[in-house]
Amino acid sequence: MNIQIFGTNKCFDTKKAQRWFKERGVRFQMIDLKQKPMSRGEFDNVCRAVGGWEALTDPKAKDQATLTLLRYLAGEEAKADKLYENQQLLRTPIVRNGRQATVGYCPEVWQGWE
């Protein structure tokens, strides 16, 4: 199992995810999105795994102007590109295990990965 947790150190759900894996003795790699954003390949793989860019978007993000722009762009690819450029709009944590991924705190899914 190769677990990666993408999130920020201030995110409560990211901390909960880290604690969940630590309690079960599962090794993981924490990637702080503020220090190191996702690569394009990682972003595309996660998008496919969770069902598209909409599942990755945080409707409560602070940057509401960019979030509104994202809704009104034409074409799914343009929206995914804009989200990739503005990763502060991502809902966290994004937990990845190979080709599988989840967005948010999802212990019921992670249990099946063990």
**How do residues 3-50 score in pLDDT, each as one tens digit?**
999 999 999 999 999 999 999 999 999 999 999 999 999 999 999 999
Q: Does domain 3-57+91-111 have CATH number 3.40.30.10?
A: yes
* pLDDT score of 102 more than 80: yes
- Average pLDDT value for residue range 50-72: 89
pLDDT at 104: 94
pLDDT at 1: 72
Provide long-range contacts, Cβ within 8 A and 24+ apart, for 79-86: 79/53, 80/47, 80/52, 80/53, 83/53, 83/56, 83/57, 84/38, 84/40, 84/43
Query: Checking phi first, is residue 31 left (phi over 0); if not, alpha (psi -120 to 50) or beta?
Result: beta
pLDDT at 93: 96
pLDDT at 70: 86
Q: Which residue has the higher pLDDT, 50 or 1?
A: 50
* pLDDT score of 2 more than 90: no
Helix (H, G, I), strand (E, B) or coil at 104: coil
Residues 71-89 have pLDDT tens digits of 888 888 999 999 999 999 9
